Structure 1
Amino acid sequence: MKNIFSRSATVLTLGLALALTSCDKQLDIDPQQSVDAGTALNSEANVASAVVGLYAQLGNSNLYGTNLILVPELLAAVDTYIRFQGTFGNFRDIANRNTRAENSTAETVWREAYQAINQANLVIDALPVVANPVSKTRFEGEARFVRGTMYFELVRLYGKQYNDKTAATDLGVPISLVPVRTVAEADRKIARSTVAKVYEQVIDDLTKAIALLPTTNGNRATRFTAKAMLARVYLQQATEESYKKAGIQADEVIKTSGKSLAPTLEAVFRGRNGSETLLEIQQNDQNNAGTGNSGLATHYASLGGVGRGDVLVLPAFAAQYGANDARGKDPLLYNSTGARRVSAPNVALRTGKYTTFGQNIPVIRLAEMYLIRAEAAFRAGDLPTALADLNRIRTRSGATPLTLTNLTPANGLATILRERQLELAFEGFRIHDLKRTGTNLVTANGTVIPITLDRLVLPIPKRETDLNDPNNPVLIQNPGY
């Protein structure tokens, strides 16, 4: 592997330069592409701007601006959930489980995530120039939050599901904690760390971010944002101990973050930085991911001239919402007539979560924490807590409350997983939930697609494996590619 970050270090430094200039802190460089990252972060002001650039990178269309949310949904596409009917071959192949190592989406997600990691490494390395101790602590916390989050997204897309029996040998993704500034540094060949090692790094970064981040930080990551992400990480590990840890983190966010459920689910996606969200990608009509055929509204929407309507919500999924459940009604599930859709099985359905190019994108919200705490409580035998948390989510949308008969040992886990699917639909959770619970994909005619299928893990980009030394390859491709 010649360079897991990008083929050219100048691309990295250019990205850093753009992050700095995005805050109107222009660098005096000539030419722009040759700015040296080592000198770019030589002042506290430039480090501050680079931290802002980290959030801009998270909103990249290949990260949370589109692909880290869209791709996990496409990986779970079956005729009882969604169908991709667009013309983009890269997305169609993922949805049809025909992905190849040359897939452009698999390549760009990898590249942009590692660029975010490298920018975080650059910030951490430059902290000695920050004189203000409060700013220094916060900058480190933000950089560690971004780095840990990106490694988490990478390992669960490009590695196998965490399994405590095999995680120490299953291949994850390469780990680099050293910033890349030059072409020579970019030429380092780094092998894939194990899934266990990557999770260790993720948990270490997020744990330290919790200690470093403030409780309030504008629209940026806070201590509670990091706790919520750590709860998500522990849930994904799917061990008896990690489920307990997930519940503890979620409980602390619920009780101490000051966040509260929005009055309606619609309000979460129509508003900006409301009471429920712990992290949103900040967008507006002039600056968003919905350009160049990217953006969640581009692919999900088909309303009033907005969107391509690439992702069709299928009737079998829509029918799972109860008659009074607002999540299954216009405007959260609609067609162009705006009429209620659950009772009309033959219409083209869309999600109403993403309907404008400039809307903010919720990445972490409090409803997820209630669902995590509910699952952890159920697994620990605390059925009253699990039931209360599930019903908080359901009653917010007018759904019929559940009872303890829905949480028996035989049906309880399926009830909780279904509630997560209904509440968090189209937000990037589905394939990850199916993997951690060992739940196979099943088509309408009963065909079973094993959740362990090789093509449900993205390939290591061919452009990276092609740069292996043929006599001593260090970057091993995933099975099936």
Structure 2
Amino acid sequence: MKKYITTVLKNKKTNGNLWFRSLLIFVCCSTFLLSCSDFVEVELPSSQLNADDIFTDISSANAAMASIYAEMRDGSMVSDLSYQMGNYADELDYYGSMASDTEDFNKNTVISSNGTIKSWWNTAYNLIYSANSILERVENSKQLSTSDCNQLKGEALFVRAYLHFYLAQLYGAVPYVTTTNYSENAKVVKIPVDQLYLNVLEDLKVAEGLLGLEYVNPNRTRPNRGVVKALMARIYLYTDQWEAAAQAASYCINNTGTYTWNTNLNTLFLKDNTTTIWQWSPEFEGQNTNEGQAFIFFSVPPGNVALNPELVASFEANDLRLDGWIKGLSDGETTWYYAYKYKEQGGTDVSREYSVIFRLAEQYLIRSEARVQNGDIEGGVSDLNKIRNRAGLSEVGVTDKATLLKLILEERRHEYFTELGHRFFDLKRIEQLDTVLGVKPGWNTTDRILPLPEDELLINPNLEPQNKGY
């Protein structure tokens, strides 16, 4: 099996202070195309990048926005989360023979010089810089229509919020960057996670008002209002705002004209699935997903990772996901299992699968948990059974709050394994990391967040102190 796609097909940028040094734009890209791979790196001067000419028309503005999504797909921390955080938690076992960043994640021995840690930080802040540049360019543009400006501003605000959200999940207190001014960015300070969430939600509320109900392109690869509401629902859940979480999750659930429930597990990750809220297209037509390349293997023992046998054993015997989303290979004595949510490991005549970032099932599980926490047991059970019915499982009939919350957590484990770090972030937010991951030999309580990259601490002393334990 190939190592995760970002370490196989793309050389990541790791130069010091890279996160505020470049603006990536498409140079060979047509309107709304997300699969173009040609970028230029523009050196940032000591003040503000003067790039008003980028947005003299909507095509160039859309190309700049598209480049952000392409970089998020190919080189950002988000594109690595399923693989690396699956190793960091209890979803994946590592079988690689050589020392690597992945082995460090699997053994919970990550240190501040780890290349993945540095790359995630750098790329995230590069992309945030690019989003801020789009916001500034759109604000000054005289050539774009009001509707085009609103769409671009809404998307850029969403991207900025989305990336800061994951930075906080991974590193804890981090800077919230809202400008392209180099002098300001070179000396930014960390803010507490609670304050960062407030900033994220402020950006999302503005984006919600700017983005429309409909998608502006086929296949749901550019955010609309539903994508914003999906992230808001998750953040409200993570911050124990139960009523707000339930209301935000209900937006996509109730928008049945756009999002329709699909009971066929084998088609949930096809590019035209109607339960998908947001997804990323591959670089070229005929390619499929990074996830398919990362997780599917055809020989044993696997060359890199396989599913943790304890995860496989935790499914109920008649759970349809056990057969539809997990496959195994045996050498006659030992069986290794891999995630089979994405069915295509290689290319096809036309791309069949896109990488799904938000899907409707999460909104049901968010609303289920929020309702139970808020005392609406009947509503929470109904939402939970929506997921269980699709998996071929019997309906839950219990009414005890604590028992229901445990069942919801287990359902999230089975529904979202190897997807974007959900398992780790769930255990973290309910303060169960030590209980569940404490059996791993390398686990320490301080592993709940990752170290800040050592180079960044040298470049900007305002980022001190280093996270505890590193």
> TM-score of the superposition, structure 2-length normalised?
0.83
Q: How far is the alpha carbon of 1:312 from its aligned partner?
A: 1.6
Which 5+ residue runs of structure 2 have no aligned equivalent?
A: 1-13, 33-38, 348-352
SS at match of 2:175: coil
Pair 1:114 & 2:125 matched? yes
- C-alpha deviations, 1:18-38, integer Å up to 9, x for none? x3434489xxxxx96556752
Q: Which residue of 2 aligns with 1:85?
A: 95
What amino acid sits opposite 2:66 in the alignment?
V
Match of 1:229 among 217, 231, 241: 231
Amino acid corresponding to residue 404 of structure 2 in structure 1: G
Q: Percent identity?
A: 24
**SS of residue matched to 2:77:** coil
Counterparts of residues 318-467 of structure 1 (less than 5 Å): 318-329=312-323, 331-336=324-329, 346-354=334-342, 355-357=344-346, 359-403=353-397, 405=398, 407-427=399-419, 428-442=421-435, 447=439, 453-467=445-459
Is residue 2:187 matched to residue 1:189? Answer: yes
Q: Secondary structure at the match of 2:186?
A: coil
Per the TM alignment, residue 98 of structure 1 is displaced from its structure 2 partner at its CA by 0.6
Q: How does 1:125-274 map to 2 (within 5 A)?
A: 125-127=136-138, 128-129=140-141, 130-159=143-172, 172-180=173-181, 185=183, 188-217=186-215, 218=217, 219=220, 220-237=222-239, 239=240, 242-256=241-255, 258-269=258-269, 271-274=270-273
Alignment CA distance shift 1:308-1:147 (3 Å): farther
* Pairs aligned (count): 430
Q: Matches of 1:468 and 1:8 in 2, distance apart?
A: 12
* 1:101 corresponding residue in structure 2: 112
The Cα shift of 1:42 comes to 4.2
Distance 1:397 1:479 in 2: 41
Measured in 2, the distance between the counterparts of 1:278 and 1:33 equals 31
CA distance in 1, matches of 2:68, 2:433: 36
Displacement of 1:450 after TM fit?
11
On the 8 A contact 1:82/1:313 being kept in 2, the answer is yes
8 Å Cα contact 1:140/1:212 also seen in 2: yes
Matched, 1:61 2:103: no
Answer whether contact 1:41 1:47 (CA < 8 A) is retained.
yes
The structure-2 alpha-carbon separation of the partners of 1:84 and 1:101, relative to structure 1 and needing over 3 Å to count, comes to same
Distance of 2:443 and 2:193 partners within structure 1: 18
After TM superposition, give the deviation of residue 319 of structure 1 in Å.
2.0
Residues of 2 paired with 1:103 and 1:463: CA distance? 11
**Partner AA of 1:221 in structure 2:** P
Partners in 2 of 1:273 and 1:20 — Cα distance?
28
Amino acid at match of 2:150: T
Does the aligned pair in 1 maintain the 2:92–2:306 contact within 8 Å? yes
Instruction: State the distance in 2 between where 1:429 and 1:146 align.
Output: 19
Residue 315 of structure 1: how far off its partner (Å) = 2.6
Give deviations 1:27-81, integer Å, cap 9, x for gaps. Answer: xxxx96556752252413322221122221221233333x13323322213xxx4
* 1:165 alignment partner in structure 2: none
Instruction: Tell me if structure 2 keeps the 8 A contact 1:284–1:357.
Output: no
The one-letter amino acid of 1:263's match is T
1:251 deviates by 1.2
- The answer (yes or no) to whether the contact 2:252–2:363 under 8 Å persists in 1 is yes
In the alignment, which residue of structure 2 is the partner of 1:302? 297
Change in CA separation of 1:356 and 1:322 when aligned onto 2, cut-off 3 Å: same
Q: Distance in 1 between matches of 2:245 and 2:196?
A: 18
| Contact preservation (8 Å) 2:297, 2:338 | yes
Pair 1:274–1:76, CA change in 2 (3 A): same
What CA distance in whole angstroms lies between the structure 1 residues aligned with 2:210 and 2:364? 25
Verify: 1:38 aligned to 2:50, yes or no.
yes
Give the corresponding residue for 1:12: 22
CA contact (8 A) 1:441 1:448 kept: no
Shifted more, 217-226 versus 37-46: the winner is: 37-46
Amino acid at match of 2:135: I
Q: Sort the Cα spacing of 1:57 and 1:33 in 2 relative to 1 into closer, same or farther, 3 A.
A: closer
Residues 85 and 311 of structure 1 are in contact (CA less than 8 Å); yes or no, is this contact kept in structure 2? yes
Task: After TM superposition, give the deviation of residue 89 of structure 1 in Å.
Answer: 1.4
Instruction: Find the partner of 2:135 among 124, 129, 134.
Output: 124
The residue number in structure 2 matching 1:168 is: none
CA distance in 2, matches of 1:287, 1:117: 30
Cα deviation per residue 1:340-397 (whole Å; 9 max; x = unaligned)? Answer: xxxx995111110244256311110000000011101111221221111111111112
Separation in structure 2 between the aligned mates of residue 299 and residue 88 of structure 1, nearest angstrom: 18
Distance 1:57 1:413, change over 3 A: same
Partner Cα distance (1:454, 1:396) in 2: 38
Offset of residue 402 of structure 1: 1.9
Q: Describe the shift of the 1:9–1:196 C-alpha distance in structure 2 as closer, same or farther (beyond 3 A).
A: closer
Report the Cα offset of residue 197 of structure 1.
Answer: 1.8
Of the structure 1 ranges 316-325 and 373-382, higher mean CA displacement relative to structure 2 is found in 316-325
**Deviations 1:378-431, CA, capped at 9 Å, x for gaps:** 11221221111111111112122222x2x4134111111001111111112001
CA distance in 2, matches of 1:9, 1:85: 32
Structure 1 position 311 matched with structure 2 position 305: yes
Distance in 2 separating the partners of 1:327 and 1:336? 17
